[in-house]
Amino acid sequence: MKIECVRREFSFNGVRLPDPNPSMTIDQVRDCYCQVYPEITTAVVEGPEAVGSKLIYRFIRAVGTKG
């Protein structure tokens, strides 16, 4: 039996985002990246999707209309 550490990875708008801290919740990760990507605050989280030894979470931008 082999034990592997599963890493988290995030993506937003086609950009791969590393996990800033494995002990953070998904919402805390979103808050961490909102300074660089302001649209991430309204994004929906999809996942996790297991790919190899990674769990990939996707922040999907909310689509809306103005006016």
Query: How far, in Å, CA of 65 to CA of 29, rounded?
Result: 27
Task: Report the mean per-residue pLDDT for the chain.
Answer: 89
- Record the pTM: 0.80
| Beta carbons of 17 and 26 less than 8 angstroms apart | no
Band of the pLDDT at 6, cuts 50, 70, 90? Answer: confident
**Phi and psi (nearest 5°) for 55?**
-110, 120
Burial environment of residue 63 by CB neighbours within 10 A (0 to 12, 13 to 18, 19 or more): exposed
Of residues 22 and 2, the one with the higher pLDDT is: 22
pLDDT category, 65, cuts 50, 70, 90?
A: low
35-63 pLDDT tens trace: 999 999 999 999 999 988 899 999 998 77
